[in-house]
Structure 1
Amino acid sequence: MEIPAQHAAHMARAVELARLGHGTTSPNPVVGCVVLDAGGQVVGEGFHAYAGGPHAEVVALAQAGERARGGTAYVTLEPCDHTGRTAPCSLALLDAGVARVVVAVSDPNPQAAGGAERLRAHGVEVLSGVLAEEAERVNEEWLTLVRLGRPHVTWKFAATLDGRSAAEDGTSKWITSPEARADVHRLRAAADVIMAGIGTVLADDPHLTARPERPHAERTSVERVPLRVVVDSEARTPQTARVLDDAAPTLVAVAADTGTELKADLLRLPRHDGGLDLRALLRELAARGVVSVFLEGGPTLAGAFVAQGLVDRVVAYLAPALLGSGPAALGAAGVCTISELHRLTFDDISPVGPDVRLVARFTPDSDREK
């Protein structure tokens, strides 16, 4: 289907608006909306800014007022048709008297879906699938949660050009530049969970907090503090570890049969393949409203996530440096022969200070999560 230029342009703006809510809407999706009057002029714009707040359609319709009557609404996600913390957006659109609604992505959540059907039943023209790929990308974390029943996982690592994450003697701090580290804090701040394994905690004593450098004008009243999660099957996290301070909440995932006196919020999980059941971990996090996980730390935990098909996106920072020896960024990842290697597609390759940031995603494959 050929998409009219005006539909693509207005939906592109809605996608841009949706992106503004990234990192503050969990466990809800990010959504953008643009409203045109009957003459085709933009009269309202909005995005979902925070969970429990007004939805994108409501914000845009409030801005448009009576000018929305007989007009068109462009929405990145099918308008919801259920009452949660807010009223159904389908009813808001009907009350506003819009004549047409253009949707990018149908809502896969059975509890909220049905908005398009209700609108059509009341005589509103509904067009679906406009810029669906772009709208899915901006909302990929939430869509992963709804479709797969687990949070979206981004694995981040920093390494030298020869793929080493640390020197042979174990020293590993500041392989990449201050600019790259600032970029990491920006990504951390947008995640619901920052996760590391016990090996990283013991070797580096990381803080695992998000400290993004943002101009005051860009700060909002809904700044969140990501949950820190330590994967520690034997409960070896030192009581003095920085990850247990009061800078942010912390959850320590341990094996169900591990005895410990560690004073921390513990999540007991089944064992699996010499470690913890990572699928069970992600299910538990999803039950707590976690939509996105930012996985950091050492090669062992990363390898386990990759081997089980639980990584959705990889963000790599490569420094123009060589070590020649030392641990690799990724440990055993379920590959025994070259035909089993994990294939990804690059989304972005950008300079960050003197370093390079690579963003790649696994090729969609329903069989990847084995």
Structure 2
Amino acid sequence: MSLSDEVLMARALRLAEACRQQCVMAPRTAVLVVRDGEVESEHLGVPNPEQAWANALAGGVEGATLVSPVAPPLGVQDQLMASAPARLVLGQGWRGVGRLELATEVLQQSCARLNPAAGLGRPLVRMKLAMSVDGRTALANGISKWITGEAARADVQNWRARSAALVTGVGTVLADDPRLTVRTGSAEVDGVRRQRIVLDSGFRTPATATLLQDAQGTVEIWGLESPPAGRPECRAVSPDADGRVSLAAVVSDLGDRGCQEILFECGAELAGAVLKSGLLDELVVYIAPKFLGHRGRALVILPDYAEVASEPEMVLADSRKVGEDIRLIFRSRDTTYG
């Protein structure tokens, strides 16, 4: 019995998911070559969709069905027509070329989640936070290593790996001196160049900061004053209405570069600003089975709201145990993928 379009697309999606951490800028995809109802070959879109389609077509596809979450890129469409497949099954809409038989928008929502920037019109914005049971991120003296366990910290690396840009604030740089790198243990994943952005209105990030000392991706420091001499990583940008680096400008700029997903890992002040911005699509919170005391550092800094209904509200999408910690994933009610 031949496989249905939905079953084939689900298989293509699982294959494409395997390159999520390697294709952080280009759209993620895979191509299946199906003949006589059976999958003949599978092709992964690394480093880009063109590669998956080119590899599929190189094997000969005359009379076959091609299945992919993403429409064929313009650069391979002439080769596609010359190869004479019988049918295309796609996860998104496409006008098509020539007289190819088409089935489009198959498992459309799942395909849209694979490449969220296309549906959102900007990168997906995610933020990761970690806290104790009593909602603290550090002791009163600022010590925070380590709140969560090893399994949770390893899980964070997977969120970093799927992100094209990692964003933090100067407060975190000064307090923790993070590397802000990806350390999954896979050379193919860890070696992908990602953007690392520090939001630092007054350019207080020292030139000796650890994240400036390695070559794993570019580092930019966004501020509001004239950049210090001899610091090419510093970039002056326009302020928002509150006189701070504009988060909307950050997201827009990174979207123009082709970023699919952005991850904020930051302290309480910037975390509060992200929550208030209306840009946050997904919030990942790790809760450790520890108590740090009422004088410990807060998770986020938000205004004093007069009504509960005024506060930022999200929907719990997932809850699971990661090692000894709990991981909660919240999603914005307003996020749609097209």
Q: Normalising to structure 2: TM-score of the pair? A: 0.89
Whether 1:117 aligns to 2:77 is no
Query: Is the contact between residue 227 and residue 234 of structure 2 (CA under 8 Å) also seen in structure 1?
Result: no
Query: Residue in 2 aligned with 1:353?
Result: 323
CA distance in 1, matches of 2:232, 2:308: 42
Select 1:191's aligned residue among 154, 158, 163: 163
Query: Residue in 2 aligned with 1:228?
Result: 196
CA separation of 1:347/1:62 partners in 2, compared to 1, >3 Å: closer, same or farther?
A: farther
Query: Residue in 2 aligned with 1:241?
Result: 209
Q: Secondary structure at the match of 1:301?
A: helix
Q: Secondary structure at the match of 1:271?
A: coil
Query: Residue in 2 aligned with 1:105?
Result: 92
CA separation of 1:9/1:311 partners in 2, compared to 1, >3 Å: closer, same or farther?
A: same
CA distance in 2, matches of 1:104, 1:54: 16
Query: Is the contact between residue 159 and residue 316 of structure 1 (CA under 8 Å) also seen in structure 2?
Result: yes
Whether 1:287 aligns to 2:259 is no
* Ranges in structure 1 where 5+ consecutive residues have no aligned partner: 107-115
Structure 1 residue 242, shift from structure 2 partner: 1.3
Query: Residue in 1 aligned with 2:312?
Result: 342
Structure 1 residue 259, shift from structure 2 partner: 5.8
Query: Residue in 2 aligned with 1:332?
Result: 302
Whether 1:92 aligns to 2:92 is no
Alignment of 1:133-148 (within 5 A): 133-140=109-116, 142-143=117-118, 147-148=120-121
Query: Is the contact between residue 87 and residue 100 of structure 2 (CA under 8 Å) also seen in structure 1?
Result: yes
CA separation of 1:55/1:13 partners in 2, compared to 1, >3 Å: closer, same or farther?
A: same
CA distance in 2, matches of 1:314, 1:333: 19
The Cα offsets for residues 172-216 of structure 1, whole Å up to 9 and x where unpaired, read as: 1210001111121232233222211011111111121111123xx
Deviates more, 1:345-354 or 1:27-36: 345-354
Q: Secondary structure at the match of 1:228?
A: strand
Structure 1 residue 164, shift from structure 2 partner: 1.4
Query: Is the contact between residue 6 and residue 106 of structure 2 (CA under 8 Å) also seen in structure 1?
Result: yes
Q: Secondary structure at the match of 2:168?
A: strand
CA distance in 1, matches of 2:25, 2:262: 12
Whether 1:48 aligns to 2:45 is yes
Query: Residue in 2 aligned with 1:35?
Result: 33
CA separation of 1:55/1:296 partners in 2, compared to 1, >3 Å: closer, same or farther?
A: same
The Cα offsets for residues 16-65 of structure 1, whole Å up to 9 and x where unpaired, read as: 1111221322432001221211x2121121121114x74333323334x2
Q: Secondary structure at the match of 1:173?
A: coil
Query: Residue in 2 aligned with 1:69?
Result: 62
Query: Residue in 2 aligned with 1:110?
Result: none
Query: Is the contact between residue 183 and residue 190 of structure 2 (CA under 8 Å) also seen in structure 1?
Result: no
Query: Is the contact between residue 233 and residue 258 of structure 1 (CA under 8 Å) also seen in structure 2?
Result: no
The Cα offsets for residues 107-162 of structure 1, whole Å up to 9 and x where unpaired, read as: xxxxxxxxx3233xx2222112211111112222x325xx42x3322101111122
Whether 1:162 aligns to 2:137 is no
Query: Residue in 2 aligned with 1:307?
Result: 276
CA distance in 1, matches of 2:154, 2:190: 21
Query: Residue in 2 aligned with 1:277?
Result: 246
Tell me which of the two structures has the higher relative contact order, counting C-alpha pairs closer than 8 angstroms and 6 or more residues apart. Answer: 2
CA distance in 2, matches of 1:14, 1:336: 49
Query: Residue in 2 aligned with 1:323?
Result: 292
Query: Is the contact between residue 159 and residue 329 of structure 1 (CA under 8 Å) also seen in structure 2?
Result: yes
Q: Secondary structure at the match of 1:55?
A: helix
Query: Is the contact between residue 306 and residue 333 of structure 1 (CA under 8 Å) also seen in structure 2?
Result: no
CA distance in 2, matches of 1:138, 1:310: 19
Whether 1:364 aligns to 2:334 is yes
Structure 1 residue 221, shift from structure 2 partner: 8.8
Alignment of 1:169-188 (within 5 A): 169-188=141-160
Query: Is the contact between residue 192 and residue 227 of structure 1 (CA under 8 Å) also seen in structure 2?
Result: yes
Alignment RMSD, CA only?
2.4
Structure 1 residue 260, shift from structure 2 partner: 3.3
The alignment-based identity, stated in percent, is 32
CA distance in 2, matches of 1:262, 1:235: 13
Select 2:56's aligned residue among 57, 60, 85: 60
Query: Is the contact between residue 31 and residue 55 of structure 1 (CA under 8 Å) also seen in structure 2?
Result: no
CA distance in 2, matches of 1:302, 1:5: 46
Whether 1:131 aligns to 2:100 is no
Select 1:254's aligned residue among 223, 230, 234: 223
Query: Is the contact between residue 21 and residue 189 of structure 2 (CA under 8 Å) also seen in structure 1?
Result: no
CA separation of 1:220/1:260 partners in 2, compared to 1, >3 Å: closer, same or farther?
A: closer
Q: After TM superposition, where is structure 1 displaced by more than 6 Å over at least 4 residues in a row?
A: none
